[in-house]
Amino acid sequence: MRCLNETGYIHNKLRTMVCSFLVKDVLADWRIGEKYFANQLIDYDISLNNGGWQWTGSTGTDPRGEPRIYNPVLQSSKLDPDCDFILKWLPELQDVKRTHIHDWEKYHHIY
């Protein structure tokens, strides 16, 4: 979200993970996130934005019985294995060993 707020852009995978977290974990209405993204994105497109939020939220024209839930730690370890993106936008983690960032459940007690 820091990336989105500062640059007006966020990678599509991150858009999906944010949506999944807000809709599936926080139980927020997808329209809240859609509206926020609409106001922040420099590449905003109503069809893509609404469609993405509805798809991940399992609503709209493509509802599914099984939930579309993304594990942010698993996705992060695949997409940012060296933690470069994470450390750029979360400087608070500079003192955390990179090998510990994706395995925070194992190591969080150390910090």
Residue 31 CA to residue 34 CA, distance in Å, equals: 5
Give pLDDT, residue 69: 80
User: Residue 63: is its pLDDT beyond 80?
Assistant: no
Phi and psi dihedrals of 92, rounded to 5?
-60, -20
pLDDT at 60 over 60: yes
**Closest to 69 (Cα-Cα) out of 10, 109, 27, 99:** 27
Query: pTM of this prediction?
Result: 0.80
Interval 1-28: pLDDT, tens:
999 999 999 998 899 899 988 988 899 9
d(C-alpha 12, C-alpha 81), whole Å? 17
pLDDT on residue 46:
92
Report the percent of the chain where pLDDT is more than 70.
89
